[in-house]
Amino acid sequence: MKIFGICCGRKNGNTDLMMVEALKGVKSIDPDAEVGFVNLQDAEIKSCMGCETCMKKHIAGDYEFRCVHGVNQDHFHFIEMQLRAADGIIVSAPAYNLLPPGILIRFLNKMHASGNYRLITQSVEACKISACFSIGGTDWTDYTPNVLRMIAMELSGTYDGVVDSVHFDFLNAFQTVMLSADVMERMHMLGENVAKAVIYKKETGKNADYAGTEGICSYCHSNLLRVDPDGSVYCPQCNVKGTVEVRDGKLFVHFSEEALKESRWAPYGQNLHMENIAKGHEKAARGIETIQKNYSENYKDQLSEYRISFPELKKTAEEKDSHE
């Protein structure tokens, strides 16, 4: 089997070390497993510019097209190839401002330019196995594990492939995780869970049960809630409405199986999303004359007038040394 890891924290930092322990866990189940990880801090990933060329090409059936940046202009394509070759994927992140680091999100945004990767992995049968782990320097980490699980799902193809997920707070100093044997044991177990799930899928064609930290949503395992102005409560990851009950001062939220089938990540939600995208483009096509007239009369000149240009960067020799 082939297991591919993605890190995005400090080079040789806590999450890198935890990844190594998880990959050792994989090897303890399958000594012949091919394992390896990248740290996105070592990679060059150009930001998605939102040009939508890849999406338009995909809608037209051209899955060979990748990104207007070109496949050799950054390391995205290399990582895409690693993902394609992998049976299992482990993605990790430290909390940066309560979220996973921007570099991981930048990578995620480029997944739109991964050819037919999504198309071929987006089913219970064909999805890849994945797991994720995250840490925080303190406990200012609420969004991090939730967003990271969503990223693991994107790399798997569906939440059915996400077999493990765990988060640890209060690990801040460089390599401090080596003082926490329990964390490293859990990492080892995460790797074992991924390897066992890959073997199970190969033998049975089924995805292993989720063995990670439970949330309040049984579909995405998120522990977040959205309360709408009318008092309705939703899982904000899945956009699924729940029913609430307060017992002994504690809030209990229930998402019915029926409601969860309409998760934005389930086939129903994915189709609805695609329909809504198509509707948006159709609306723009119908209104193209209004858009062009309004643009030239009210915005074209004002955009040039109001936009502030960036000065050209002149890096000193010292700055070049410390950043390259």
Separation CA 225–CA 281 (nearest Å): 31
102-109 vs 144-156: helix crossing angle, rounded to 10: 30
* Residue where the block lists tokens 């089997």: 1
Residue 227 Cβ vs ligand FMN, minimum distance, rounded to whole Å: 23
In the bound state with ligand FMN, the residue whose beta carbon lies nearer, of 117 and 133, is: 133
131, HSE (Cβ side, Cα atoms, 13 Å): 37
Q: Over 240-280, what HEC string results? A: EEEEEEEECCEEEEECCHHHHCCCCCCHHHHHHHHHHHHHH
Residue 170: count other Cβ atoms within 10 Å of its Cβ. 12
Residue 103 Cβ vs ligand FMN, minimum distance, rounded to whole Å: 11
In the bound state with ligand FMN, the residue whose beta carbon lies nearer, of 138 and 294, is: 138
In the bound state with ligand FMN, the residue whose beta carbon lies nearer, of 148 and 238, is: 148
Residue 100 Cβ vs ligand FMN, minimum distance, rounded to whole Å: 10
Retrieve residue 199's tokens.
């073997």
In the bound state with ligand FMN, the residue whose beta carbon lies nearer, of 78 and 140, is: 140
Separation CA 166–CA 189 (nearest Å): 11
In the bound state with ligand FMN, the residue whose beta carbon lies nearer, of 19 and 83, is: 19
In the bound state with ligand FMN, the residue whose beta carbon lies nearer, of 81 and 179, is: 179
Separation CA 227–CA 254 (nearest Å): 14
Residue 13 Cβ vs ligand FMN, minimum distance, rounded to whole Å: 3
Residue 158: count other Cβ atoms within 10 Å of its Cβ. 22
Residue 104 Cβ vs ligand FMN, minimum distance, rounded to whole Å: 12
By CB under 6 A, name the binding residues for ligand FMN: 9-10, 13-15, 94-98, 135-138, 140-141, 171-172, 174
In the bound state with ligand FMN, the residue whose beta carbon lies nearer, of 94 and 157, is: 94
Q: What does DSSP assign to residue 217?
A: -
Residue 99: count other Cβ atoms within 10 Å of its Cβ. 17
Residue 97 Cβ vs ligand FMN, minimum distance, rounded to whole Å: 5
Strands 240-247 and 250-254: antiparallel
Chain centroid to CA 185: 24
Residue 85, strand partner residues: none
Residue 251 Cβ vs ligand FMN, minimum distance, rounded to whole Å: 25
